């Protein structure tokens, strides 16, 4: 039986990421290695690499333990700055070790197409009757699944990773996340 090994990172919505922190009582944060490597991120602050265990390596410098209130602040930053929640797995892929909060400004995943990331459990579903083709969703779709063409929204569901950022910004409420089939 051919079992494909999951990638280190996968995409999920912020609500799914919040489920990953539920029931945990300790958290650590470090600077994002991508943001440190690029020198500056024009989208968000640098200390956004959330870790669930104190015995794993962190992607960047400045690692420290934080309280749940600090974790909530990271989630607010992710919402405000339109960051994709990309949990990461342990080296042996048996557990989720933390969450990266990524954007297309500095994160290696979006800048290097050879960096593999698994799609999330959810995928977008747009209602063309409600869509005003305003383009708000296309600006936050770092995966290139949403475009406007001649005043019409065009969606390539195969390119949708299931982050849900499009749902957050749609002024018409024409997008929802559904289970990927």
Q: Quote the pLDDT of residue 5.
A: 86
Is the pLDDT higher at 36 or at 15? Answer: 15
Q: What is the pLDDT of residue 3?
A: 64
How much is the pLDDT for 167?
97
Residue 58 shares a structural domain with residue 92: yes
For residue 71, with 0-12 CB atoms within 10 Å meaning exposed, 13-18 middle and 19 or more buried, which class applies? middle
pLDDT at 2 over 70: no
Q: Quick one: average pLDDT of 1-25?
A: 89
* 21 and 64 share one domain: yes
Give the model's confidence band at 96: pLDDT under 50 very low, under 70 low, under 90 confident, else very high.
very high
Count of structural domains within the chain = 2
- Pick from 10-24, 32-46, 61-75: least confident: 32-46
Same domain assignment for residues 26 and 98: yes
Q: Which of 59 and 3 is assigned the larger pLDDT?
A: 59
> Quick one: pLDDT at residue 112?
76
* 2 lies in some domain: no
Question: For position 163, which CATH number holds?
Answer: 3.30.70.20
pLDDT digits (tens, 9 = 90+) for 48-89: 999 999 888 788 888 999 999 999 999 999 999 999 999 999
* Same domain (yes/no): 36, 14: yes
1, pLDDT greater than 80: no
Residue 4 falls within a domain, yes or no? no
Residue 44 domain-assigned (yes or no)? yes
* Enclosing domain of residue 154: 122-179
More confident residue, 112 or 9: 9
Closest-CA residue to 26 (of 47, 56, 2, 3):
56
State the pLDDT at residue 62.
Answer: 86
Both tokens of 35, joined, read 């943001």
Q: Which of 83, 100, 118 is the last residue of a domain?
A: 118
Structural domain includes residue 131: yes
Q: Is residue 73 part of a domain?
A: yes
Tens digit of each residue's pLDDT (9 = 90 or more) over 119-176? 999 999 999 999 999 999 999 999 999 999 988 899 999 999 999 999 999 999 999 9
Per-residue confidence band for 108, with pLDDT thresholds at 50, 70 and 90: confident
């Amino acid at each position: 039986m051919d079992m494909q090994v999951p990638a280190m990172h996968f995409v999920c919505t912020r609500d799914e990421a919040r489920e990953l922190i539920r029931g945990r009582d300790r958290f650590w944060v470090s600077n994002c290695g991508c943001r440190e490597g690029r020198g500056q991120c024009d989208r968000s602050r640098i200390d956004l690499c959330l870790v669930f265990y104190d015995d794993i390596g962190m992607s960047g410098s400045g690692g420290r333990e934080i309280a749940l209130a600090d974790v909530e602040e990271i989630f607010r930053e992710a919402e405000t700055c339109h960051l994709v929640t990309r949990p990461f797995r342990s080296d042996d892929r048996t557990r989720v070790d933390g969450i990266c909060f990524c954007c297309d400004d500095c994160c290696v995943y979006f800048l290097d197409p050879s960096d593999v990331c698994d799609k999330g459990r959810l995928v977008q579903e747009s209602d063309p009757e409600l869509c005003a083709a305003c383009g708000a969703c296309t600006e936050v779709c770092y995966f290139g699944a949403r475009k406007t063409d001649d005043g019409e929204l065009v969606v390539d569901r195969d390119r949708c990773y299931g982050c849900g950022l499009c749902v957050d910004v749609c002024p018409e409420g024409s997008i929802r996340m559904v289970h990927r089939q």
